[in-house]
């Protein structure tokens, strides 16, 4: 008995090559692709020296050339007869292929892709923006999204007199593999890539903390990471707002007063320090104060909150010889503190500028507590109300008895303009109890965002 036969029908698919290029003409019978109608028709080469304007529109410039029988009308129209920012019809094409050569310039360039439904550039929307580094050969496919489009190239040095030598090619294609414009190595402007999906690393590692070869943060120009360190080498008061600085100060004070910088050692005579904090209307202000050793040096500005002391030079070495205090001149209240030899403030204090918002990402806490000290570690967020008053909120605490801690605690807490962060240590007792004095370090990590777009966005002049 024979087995039943099974008929299998496998359709034979003819491959459709995806190809584009300078000499492949749509419907022209070149290379055997005429029946598939899949190749590039419109293309335009350009060479341009950007010396008069920071924004260049290759398709509108008279220096654009074409290899299509030297007939520029067979490219994107006639740039010689078009306005400087005219839009171009996309027709039945679905991909814009852009090549850019920046090997002859030391300046970064931004490629901006504009779309419009009516052909009026005043109504166009910039949908894609990609920053191209200098000394680089760039290639990218952008999708056709509306009936009209245009390409702009922006010299990011923003200096009209700087000559930028660029060359490249722009072409349209009906069928091609699409390369997504939001790649993991792109510079990202969060105002134009609001839905950028990060599939490689987390946002912090891949975007905020990424840097270029010089160690500068380049991915998001208006977002910066910040770490603030607070040090307690010993608990000498049962409540210490400024960590190693003994005693507390008013976290919610809105009193503006003169300040004085002073050292515990005459060796800091003539040492220069940068002092920074907030003054009138919450605006951040900075000044340089020269230390007079153990005598007060009065600053020129009035402050209601001081969060930064940075050693510059002078004095007895490469940092402050002894403890540095910034006190209110009126009552001697310590506003900020720098432990000896640190060269920077070691109080866990930070204040947001009027132009900043941010996220308190985490606090790292390490140290130990004696048996009878029962130490508690607190972090406060102090917010300003609409009437100008400040209110404090406990956002983190850690309580420990006769033990050690070495841990990072995630927080992800919103910070708004004028918000303050204040670290405080509490203890049931002070001094050497059984296991010794409590010693703790705390570090908060913050992502700061500029909330004034006009100060961080590069605006095209159209």
DSSP H or E run through 166: strand 164-173
Please write the tens of the pLDDT for every residue from 71-99. Answer: 333 445 554 445 667 788 887 788 888 89
Q: Are residues 250 and 326 in the same domain?
A: yes
53-62, 149-158, 311-320 — which one is most confidently predicted on average? 311-320
Of the ranges 182-196, 275-289, 439-453, which one carries the lowest mean pLDDT score?
182-196
Of the ranges 139-148, 200-209, 227-236, which one carries the lowest mean pLDDT score?
200-209
What does the pLDDT read at residue 204? 67
Q: Are residues 408 and 288 in the same domain?
A: no
Which is it for strands 305-313 and 297-303: parallel, antiparallel or unpaired? unpaired
Provide the token pair at 29: 């019978």
212 domain-assigned: no
- The yes-or-no verdict on residue 306 having pLDDT over 60 is yes
What does the pLDDT read at residue 167? 86
Q: Are residues 103 and 55 in the same domain?
A: yes
Quick one: average pLDDT of 412-423? 93
Quick one: average pLDDT of 151-179? 72
236 domain-assigned: no
β-bridge mates for residue 359, sequence order: 414, 447
Closest CA to 143 of 186, 94, 182, 176: 94
Q: Which residues contact 135 (CB under 8 A, 6 or more apart)?
A: 102, 103, 105, 106
> 153, 173, 193: which is the final residue of a domain?
173
What does the pLDDT read at residue 13? 43
Q: Are residues 43 and 167 in the same domain?
A: yes
Q: Are residues 62 and 160 in the same domain?
A: yes
159 domain-assigned: yes
Q: What is the CATH number of the domain that holds 379?
A: 2.60.120
DSSP state of 65: B
- The yes-or-no verdict on residue 426 having pLDDT over 70 is yes
Q: Are residues 134 and 39 in the same domain?
A: yes
> 110, 142, 173: which is the final residue of a domain?
173
Please state, rounded to an integer, the average pLDDT across all residues of the chain: 76
Q: Are residues 258 and 384 in the same domain?
A: no
What does the pLDDT read at residue 375? 85
Q: Are residues 325 and 375 in the same domain?
A: no
Closest CA to 242 of 336, 311, 327: 336
- The total of other beta-carbon atoms located within 10 Å of residue 224's CB is 15
What does the pLDDT read at residue 382? 95
> 328, 343, 358: which is the final residue of a domain?
343
Query: What percent of the chain shows pLDDT beyond 70?
Result: 69
8 domain-assigned: no
- The yes-or-no verdict on residue 10 having pLDDT over 90 is no
Q: Are residues 38 and 169 in the same domain?
A: yes
Rounded distance, CA 430 to CA 18, Å? 77
φ, ψ of residue 266 to 5 degrees: the values are: -65, -15
Q: How far from the centroid of its chain's Cα atoms is residue 264's Cα?
A: 39
Quick one: average pLDDT of 431-455? 73
Q: Are residues 363 and 327 in the same domain?
A: no
230 domain-assigned: no
Confidence of residue 411 (pLDDT cuts 50, 70, 90): very high
- Strand-by-strand arrangement of the 305-313 sheet: 284-290, 272-278, 305-313
Q: What is the CATH number of the domain that holds 86?
A: 2.60.120.510
Provide the token pair at 153: 């190239």
Q: Are residues 47 and 159 in the same domain?
A: yes
β-bridge mates for residue 132, sequence order: 109
Single pTM value for the model: 0.56
CB 111 within 8 A of CB 140: yes
364 domain-assigned: yes
Rounded distance, CA 453 to CA 419, Å? 20
Of the ranges 154-168, 179-193, 333-347, 400-414, which one carries the lowest mean pLDDT score?
179-193
162 domain-assigned: yes
State how far the alpha carbon of 310 is from the alpha carbons of 172, 288, 328, 383, in Å. Answer: 56, 9, 18, 25
Quick one: average pLDDT of 201-222? 62
Please write the tens of the pLDDT for every residue from 354-394. Answer: 888 889 999 999 988 877 778 889 999 999 888 888 999 99
Give the residue numbers spanning the domain of 130.
30-173
Quick one: average pLDDT of 219-244? 84
428 domain-assigned: yes
What does the pLDDT read at residue 245? 87
Quick one: average pLDDT of 142-147? 85
- The total of other beta-carbon atoms located within 10 Å of residue 57's CB is 24
Provide the token pair at 84: 């400087």
Which is it for strands 334-338 and 349-351: parallel, antiparallel or unpaired? unpaired
- The yes-or-no verdict on residue 460 having pLDDT over 50 is no
- The yes-or-no verdict on residue 428 having pLDDT over 80 is yes
More confident site: 69 or 274: 274
What does the pLDDT read at residue 76? 59
Of the ranges 184-188, 294-298, 421-425, 447-451, which one carries the lowest mean pLDDT score?
184-188
Query: What percent of the chain shows pLDDT beyond 90?
Result: 29
CA dihedral 122, 128, 131, 136 (to 10 degrees): -110
More confident site: 140 or 221: 140
Cα 303-343-412 angle, rounded to 5 deg: 65
Q: Are residues 409 and 279 in the same domain?
A: no
Confidence of residue 301 (pLDDT cuts 50, 70, 90): very high
Please write the tens of the pLDDT for every residue from 11-68. Answer: 444 444 444 444 333 333 333 333 333 344 466 777 777 655 678 788 776 545 444 4
Number of domains in the chain: 3
Rounded distance, CA 79 to CA 61, Å? 6
- The yes-or-no verdict on residue 7 having pLDDT over 60 is no
DSSP E strand boundaries for 297-387: 297-303, 305-313, 324-328, 334-338, 349-351, 356-369, 375-384
């Amino acid at each position: 008995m024979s087995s039943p036969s099974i008929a299998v029908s496998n359709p034979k698919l003819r491959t459709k090559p995806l190809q584009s290029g300078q000499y492949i003409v749509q419907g022209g019978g070149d290379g055997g692709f005429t029946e598939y109608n899949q190749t590039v028709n419109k293309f335009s080469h350009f060479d341009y020296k950007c010396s008069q304007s920071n924004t260049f529109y290759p398709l509108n410039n008279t220096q654009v050339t074409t290899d299509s029988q030297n007939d520029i009308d067979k490219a994107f129209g006639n740039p010689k007869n078009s306005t400087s920012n005219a839009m171009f019809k996309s027709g039945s094409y679905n991909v814009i292929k852009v090549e850019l050569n920046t090997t002859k310039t030391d300046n970064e360039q931004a490629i901006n892709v504009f779309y419009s439904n009516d052909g009026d550039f005043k109504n166009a929307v910039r949908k894609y923006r990609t920053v191209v580094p200098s000394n680089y050969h760039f290639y990218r496919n952008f999708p056709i999204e509306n009936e009209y489009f245009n390409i702009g190239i922006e010299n990011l040095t923003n200096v009209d007199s700087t000559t930028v030598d660029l060359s490249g090619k722009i072409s349209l294609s009906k069928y091609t593999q699409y390369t997504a414009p939001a790649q993991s190595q792109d510079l990202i402007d969060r105002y134009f890539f609001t839905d950028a999906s990060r599939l490689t690393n987390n946002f912090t590692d891949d975007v905020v903390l990424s840097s270029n070869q010089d160690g500068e943060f380049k991915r998001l120009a208006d977002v910066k990471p910040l770490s603030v360190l607070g040090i307690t080498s010993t608990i000498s008061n049962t409540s210490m707002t400024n960590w190693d600085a003994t005693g507390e100060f008013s976290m919610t004070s809105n009193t503006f007063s003169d300040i004085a910088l002073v050292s515990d050692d005459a060796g800091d005579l003539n040492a220069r320090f940068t002092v920074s904090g907030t003054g009138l209307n919450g605006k951040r202000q900075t000044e340089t104060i020269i230390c007079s050793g153990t005598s007060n040096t009065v600053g020129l500005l009035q402050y209601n909150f001081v969060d930064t002391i940075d050693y510059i030079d002078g004095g007895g070495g490469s940092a402050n010889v002894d403890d540095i205090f910034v006190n209110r001149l009126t009552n001697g209240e310590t506003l900020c503190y720098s432990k000896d030899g640190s060269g920077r403030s070691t109080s866990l204090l930070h204040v947001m500028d009027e132009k900043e918002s941010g996220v308190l990402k985490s606090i790292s806490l390490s140290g130990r507590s004696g048996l009878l000290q029962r130490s508690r570690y607190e972090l406060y967020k102090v917010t300003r109300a609409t009437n100008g008053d400040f209110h404090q909120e406990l956002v983190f605490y850690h309580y420990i008895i006769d033990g050690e801690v070495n841990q990072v605690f995630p927080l992800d807490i919103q910070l708004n303009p004028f918000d303050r962060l204040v670290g405080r240590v509490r203890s049931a007792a002070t001094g050497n109890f059984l296991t010794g004095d409590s010693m703790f370090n705390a570090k908060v990590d913050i992502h700061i965002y500029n909330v004034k777009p006009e100060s961080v966005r590069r605006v095209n002049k159209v």
